[in-house]
Chain A
Amino acid sequence: MLIGVIMMYGYIGKILRVNLTSEKTKEENVGEDLLRKFIGGVGLAAKIIYDEVNPAISPFDPENKLVFMTGPLTGTLIPCTGRYVVCAKSPLTDAWGEAHSSGFWARELKRAGYDGIVIEGKSEKPSLLVIDDEDARIEDASHLWGKGCLETEEQIRKELGEAFRVACIGPAGERLVRFASIINDEGRAAGRCGMGAVMGSKNLKAIAVRGSKEVPIKEPERIRNVLRRIYPQIMSFPTTQIYASYGTSGELLSFYEYGDVPIKNFALGKWAEIEHISGETYNKVMVKAKRSCWNCPIACWRYVRVDEGPYAGLELKRGPEYETLTALGSLLLNNRLDVIVRANYLCNQYGLDTISTGVCIAFAMECYEKGIITEKDAGISLKWGDPEAILRLIEDIGERRGLGDILAEGVKRASAKIGGGSEKFAMHVKGLEMPMHDPRAFKGMGLQYAVSNRGACHLQGMVLRVEQGERVTDLKIYERLDRFEVRGKGSVVATVQNWHEVLESLIICKFLGIPPGHIPGLYTLVTGIHMTLEHSIEAGERIYNIKRMFNVRCGISRKDDTLPYRIMYEGLREGGTLGNRISPEELDMMLKEYYMVRGWDENGIPRTETLRRLGLQ
């Protein structure tokens, strides 16, 4: 892994290793051969965790490692490269965990002189990691413990300087809520898989970064020349236009028509109130301005302010996205945008994943409706759509109070504890709560959820785009696939998953409408390392498989590649899913094709020859 000092481009070639137990930090060089095989970003993080984390340990064991990683494109002049990934063994799934966030923090880390940070051990007392260019030090953060994420960031920047960028946890992470998030840049979230809880288990409150160096680029002039001339195409891409105009909420109504938007804990296919939370309404009523991450021409963030009602005056610099609008809206039969904004604010302050929070609250409301839990258990009536109940439960989860303490364990563990048949509507895969795309509307998404390494994940593939009719000729996806058909889905899911590993290793935002064929060339111009499309796709497959191998070592196999009961057995009478469900037999058919395409055995374990072909053995 170690090489001598050579000039690198795109990459810094250095990782900061921080041991919180010994309070020591050290720098490590990263070799080009490793970068060729795993690219960077999530690929490099997966390699580190696979090599170094004992799969048998508890996610809260100090031996678990929390790896923050950027990619070779991060912080460069390539657009939409302000993202980072954070990985560890997940407290929700007890297997591979990863979460992604955007903003400016990642660029700042690169400018400080690091591609990534590996956090090891556990601090004795609340601590703050400060990285000021290459000066890395651990400071006491006792005065910040207990503070909300937005306050924490504000306080740190006041103390250290406005130029610092901060990623931190809130009270939820401190209390080991299993779906606690890490919040950076005033409300951007690395939400999924409980990475904030792992950070909390290490007593690490925040990482503040300031950097003054430019990320070196091999051929900046050629890149500028190319970018200038491919912008007309990039900005003409349909979803890019939607995100630029409306943000991610822009697709809410079209997804609703497909039956894709979950309503009432995935139990309803239609909801008369849906327009109250649509992108059009949201942008008209709540949105005051557009904002963007580092170097992004799309600007999908929305700056929102509540003008009327009990929360009048509440502002969010990073307003609710599609997932939050639905997880804290339609999923709970909550039609009030102001309540969604307030709920989002609370989640950001506590440091809670809005998707998992919404799913846990929906689960509690259904338990209440079915009489499995009572008002006495909850301390409040949990009627669907009740603003007081929603906001109170978020606080209870963040504080680990009463019923909130049970829900803070995630919907899988909460359902096991509450019982009463509630596992039939506990919406998760492998312990990760379902995102806001109903797989009964797009069966390929069902397969994607079932097999994704981090559990129910809509981002590593988003195969519904192909099921909507998108052709990705560079990946040899030529034909539109019927969304209710199961044949052919195994192959397409594997293909798009591999490609998304590439994007998340580089790291470049998926909202940039740039065809796969352009990516290797841009990488080559940035790094000076020649890459072809075939080589990058193979790296994506390697990365996907090394994560699977980590999961296999955690005990994951075919038995875990499944879907919630409701998705397999309950069709919706109304709405765009047209009564479809994904029966266990259909899931089995898709899995068989998928395992075959992947070169895994019938139990979902990568075959020796597959690992050998990918250089993983």
Chain B
Amino acid sequence: MEEFLPLGSEEELKEEICKTMRRLFNRGLVSALGGNISARLPGSSEFWITPSGVFKGELEPEDLVKVDLDGRVLEGFLRPSVETPFHAMIYRRRADVNAVVHSHNPVTTGLALAGIEIKPVTIEAAVVLRRVRVVPWAFPGTDALANLIGEHIEGARALVLMNHGVVGVGSNLLEAETIVETLEEVATAQFVASIFKRELPLIPEEDMELIKRLYGI
């Protein structure tokens, strides 16, 4: 009799984390040392997270570390991401979230540094990202950063971390990946437009109203 991996096994989850990381690395959204990803099976109080300090472009499933919601290491031999505290915080606050992607989107981070907020320049910006909040600076890896993210994550899909990067969350890895990717797409379009034009043509007011009513933004 043939044996199949049960759908949504931990092994598949680990494979998918590594694939996601490679895709983000190849797109330039995570760098050699910056960025981390975690995911959990729905309902679980444990999650798998990428290791700290390991070259991001070549992660393998056996590099991943399993931790509980207090950040305690349960499986794996490498050091879990330094940002484990904020991943754990998000899972504690958001039962609907099963995947967290923290990437170093250069354009999004650059706009935030310049004090420019992400505007509804495309439908994706309005619908997929909803409102993108900026989390003030806190030192990476600290409980202070985890607490700040905890305060901002309610109702959000994407956050920008000042002087740091972005966070996307989702019910699965593809959704979280989509968020940070869309964020960079929108930020890039906005950035390019802003080079040539001071006032950006946003989605017309009446359409935005419709979208807001429709999607409850």
User: A residues within 8 Å of B by Cβ?
Assistant: 222, 225-226, 228-230, 232-234, 236, 471, 473-474, 478, 515-518, 520-522, 524-525, 532-533
Contacts and interface: CB of A to CB of B under 8 A. Distances in A.
Interface stretch (B3-11, B52-60, B128-136, B149-157): B52-60
B142 A233 contact: no
B163 to A, nearest CB: 15
B168 interface: no
A524 B77 contact: yes
Contacts of A518: 52-53, 78-79
A517 B80 contact: yes
Contacts of B144: 478
Contacts, number: 56
B75 to A, nearest CB: 11
Contacts of A520: 77
B143 interface: yes
B82 interface: yes
Nearest to B142: A478
Contact of A229 (B58, B62, B77, B79): B58
Contacts of B196: none
12 contacts: A226-B78, A229-B55, A232-B32, A471-B139, A471-B142, A474-B79, A478-B141, A517-B52, A517-B78, A517-B79, A518-B78, A525-B77
B90 to A, nearest CB: 18
B33 interface: yes
B133 to A, nearest CB: 24
Main SS of the interface on chain A? Answer: helix
B104 to A, nearest CB: 15
Contacts of B76: 521
A232 B33 contact: yes
B16 interface: no
Interface string B57-84: 0101011000000000100111110100
B33 A236 contact: yes
Contacts of B79: 474, 515-518, 521
Contacts of A471: 139, 141-142
B203 to A, nearest CB: 42
Main SS of the interface on chain B? Answer: loop
A230 B78 CA distance: 10
A518 B62 CA distance: 14
Given A230-B55, A232-B32, 5 more contacts: A473-B142, A478-B139, A516-B79, A517-B78, A525-B77
Contacts of B60: 225
A6 to B, nearest CB: 22
A478 B143 contact: yes
A230 B54 CA distance: 5
A471 B142 CA distance: 9
A533 B52 CA distance: 14
A229 B54 contact: yes
Nearest to B144: A478
Nearest to B83: A473
A140 B32 CA distance: 57
Nearest to A478: B142
A522 to B, nearest CB: 8
B73 A230 contact: no
A108 B101 CA distance: 47
Nearest to B55: A229
Contacts of B52: 233, 515, 517-518
- Highest count of chain B CB atoms <10 Å: which of A516, A518, A533: A518
B53 A230 contact: yes
B82 A233 contact: no
B192 to A, nearest CB: 31
A226 B33 contact: no
B49 to A, nearest CB: 12
A230 B143 CA distance: 25
A328 B143 CA distance: 44
A471 B63 CA distance: 24
Contacts of B78: 226, 517-518, 521
Contacts of B54: 226, 229-230, 233
Nearest to B76: A521
Nearest to A523: B77
B142 A232 contact: no
Contacts of A525: 77
Contact of A233 (B33, B63, B77): B33
